[in-house]
Amino acid sequence: MKAITLLVTVMLVISAQPALTLIETYDFSNPELEVRYQNLTEELRCPKCQNQNIADSNAPIAQDLRRLLHQQLEEGASNDEILDYMVARYGEFVRYRPSFGGASIVLWMAPALLLLAAAGVLLITLRSKSKSNSDGVASLSAEEQLKLESLLNKAEQDS
């Protein structure tokens, strides 16, 4: 049973192997569309590949999505409309730039929060370090002073 599942999985995967580098030559009516196309193909994820965007993937589904993207851009859809269209069919999984809603808001806020927390710790550390400085250094006794000098002399000889 397991063997059959494995075999079938392998076959499913093989039918999507990046064996061919498919470079489609789409014509765009306007160079700005081509730029948007390049950006969007890098933002959309190929639904069945091992972590590739649709720009880099050779899977049939990726080709279909690229064609669809080209079509929609030529029809005048905005970036948001196109992304919503894709998400409605394939789920949030298909966006490499997580949306700002739902759980992903945590993701977007995390770096800033971490930075604030770390900076806070930094400031507290700096303050405590510079404050105790004003306590002054205890002075050395005469014996300690001699010992210090001999050690310093020895160090100089070594270097």
Nearer to other proteins, 23 or 142 (CB): 23
Which region among 5-13, 73-81, 140-148, 149-157 touches other proteins (by CB under 8 A)? 5-13
The footprint of other proteins on this chain (CB under 8 A) covers a number of residues equal to 70
**Tokens standing for 146?**
């001699």
Nearer to other proteins, 80 or 142 (CB): 80
Shortest reach from residue 73's CB to other proteins, in Å: 15
Query: Alpha-carbon distance 102 to 57, whole Å?
Result: 28
Shortest reach from residue 21's CB to other proteins, in Å: 4
CB contact at 8 A, 133 and 126: no
132 binds other proteins (CB under 8 A): yes
**Tokens standing for 145?**
């002073």
The site map against other proteins for 19-58 (x = CB under 8 A) is xxxxxxxx-----------x---xx-x-xxxxxxx-xx--
CB contact at 8 A, 46 and 96: no
Classify residue 51 by its DSSP letter: S
Q: From the list 6, 105, 124, 126, which residue makes contact with other proteins (rule: CB under 8 A)? A: 126
Please report where in the chains the tokens 């079509």 appear, as a residue. 71
Q: Is 52 helix (H, G, I), strand (E, B) or coil?
A: coil
Please report where in the chains the tokens 């859809």 appear, as a residue. 77
Nearer to other proteins, 115 or 140 (CB): 115
Nearest CA-CA partner of 82 in 90, 60, 22 = 90
CB contact at 8 A, 73 and 29: no
Question: Residues interacting with other proteins, by CB under 8 A?
Answer: 1, 4-5, 8-9, 11-12, 15-17, 19-26, 38, 42-43, 45, 47-53, 55-56, 59-61, 64-65, 68, 87-98, 102-104, 107-108, 110-111, 114-115, 118-119, 121-122, 125-126, 128-130, 132-133, 158
